[in-house]
Amino acid sequence: MDKKYCLVAYSFPCVDQYYIKDKEGNVIPQKMTGGISCLNVLYNITLLRNNVSSYIVGAVGNDKNGEKALESLENVGVNTDYVKKENRKTNVFHIIIPEEITEDDSVEISEVSPLTGVNTYSLPQEFKGELPKELEGKRIILCISNFEKSTMDFINQAKEKCKECVINLDVTKEKIFKDFSNEYIEELLNKVDMVQINNKTFKALYNKLNFEDGKNESESEKKTKFFEKFKFDLLTITNGSKGATFLYNEEEHVKQLDMETPKVYDMKDPTGAGDAFNSIMTMFYQDKILENNSQIDEKFLRRSFNTANKFVGLVVNQVGARLERRDKVSKREVIR
């Protein structure tokens, strides 16, 4: 029986415009690349694996930025046939990197151009994605990083029409969920298998969902309560360069594993660190847990965590969240 999983991302491709801010505060444009968290995960895994089948379903503007948003995905072998080109401008995020990185969050990410003051981001309002016919009856890992209604509709399609649909949700910032009702957020989270969320955003989500019951809970208790409510397979709460906390079930008991990052890298741009980390965790989860029918345990998490940090070191040592294809051989040596 074929136990292979296809990778699918449901998203609206955008481009990331990078800038360097010098000591005088001048903002100097640098490279432009494709962006969005779940698409960076799709890119990374497809880059690192020759035998993966990966697809993106979504919509993009019918302009040069739209072509740019899809270009690097296509170059590593992601199927973009199911991305609709709409009569609009492709979204642009503006990433401003200070001359010296002092903290993980010292990089500014904005929807407004620092050069023109124009807002360059807005989600399509009426788009409805369709699951490709060739994926019906398949096993898929569906990567998402937004809470839009069309995302929920696509999840429901995939759950109904695929042989198995494993949902991987990356929650990068509070803005992703803050305008949705608690009932809707909980409905979506109840469908998810893997979640990665940074510690600051986790606190905002926990408070929004009104978990507080008057008890003076510890941070560990909050994480456990959140994990138990939604019955995830794996919850990863990242803390930048300091490490991550994993929550998982072992013999029907919730386990919590805190791990510290073993080294500090020569960091030029931290914006792709979380996506790089998620990519390796997802790849290991696919290989070791899903396709080998194994269970998440401490040994699995330590091995995948250490490998993920090696890959993160490569990504943050350059400007941009995606490594170029020409680096493929050296990266494969690192993560072998």
Which domains, ranges and CATH numbers included, belong to the chain? 6-14+37-90+133-335 (3.40.1190.20)
pLDDT at 2: 61
Query: Is the sign of the CA dihedral 24, 25, 28, 32 positive or negative?
Result: positive
pLDDT digits (tens, 9 = 90+) for 187-200: 999 999 999 999 99
Which two structure tokens, joined as six digits, stand for 247?
Answer: 């929550």
Q: How far apart are CA 103 and CA 76, in angstroms?
A: 31
Q: Count CA within 13 A, CB hemisphere, residue 199.
A: 14
Residue 256 parent element (H or E): strand 253-260
Return all residues near 126 (Cβ < 8 A) that are at least 6 apart.
Answer: none
Lowest-confidence pick of 19-23, 102-106, 308-312: 102-106
Alpha-helical runs (H) found in the chain: 37-48, 64-76, 149-161, 182-189, 199-208, 219-230, 273-284, 298-316, 328-335
Q: How far apart are CA 37 and CA 51, in angstroms?
A: 22
Comparing CA positions, the residue from 282, 280, 284 lying closest to residue 311 is 280
pLDDT digits (tens, 9 = 90+) for 64-92: 999 999 999 999 999 999 999 999 999 99
- What pTM did the predictor assign? 0.93
Please state, rounded to an integer, the average pLDDT across all residues of the chain: 90
Q: How far apart are CA 203 and CA 213, in angstroms?
A: 15
pLDDT-based confidence at 23, cuts 50/70/90? Answer: confident
pLDDT at 32: 95
More confident residue, 126 or 133: 133
Q: Considering the chain, what percentage of its residues have pLDDT values greater than 70? A: 92
Is the pLDDT at 334 greater than 60, yes or no?
no
Phi then psi dihedrals of residue 124, to 5 deg: -60, 140
pLDDT digits (tens, 9 = 90+) for 245-304: 999 999 889 999 999 987 666 788 999 999 999 999 999 999 999 988 899 999 999 999
Comparing CA positions, the residue from 86, 76, 67 lying closest to residue 47 is 76
Q: How far apart are CA 237 and CA 223, in angstroms?
A: 9
DSSP three-state, residue 213 = coil
Strands 108-110 and 139-144: unpaired
pLDDT-based confidence at 331, cuts 50/70/90? Answer: very low
Return all residues near 13 (Cβ < 8 A) that are at least 6 apart.
Answer: 34, 35, 36, 39, 56, 58, 60, 66, 69, 70, 73, 83, 90
Q: How far apart are CA 105 and CA 269, in angstroms?
A: 10
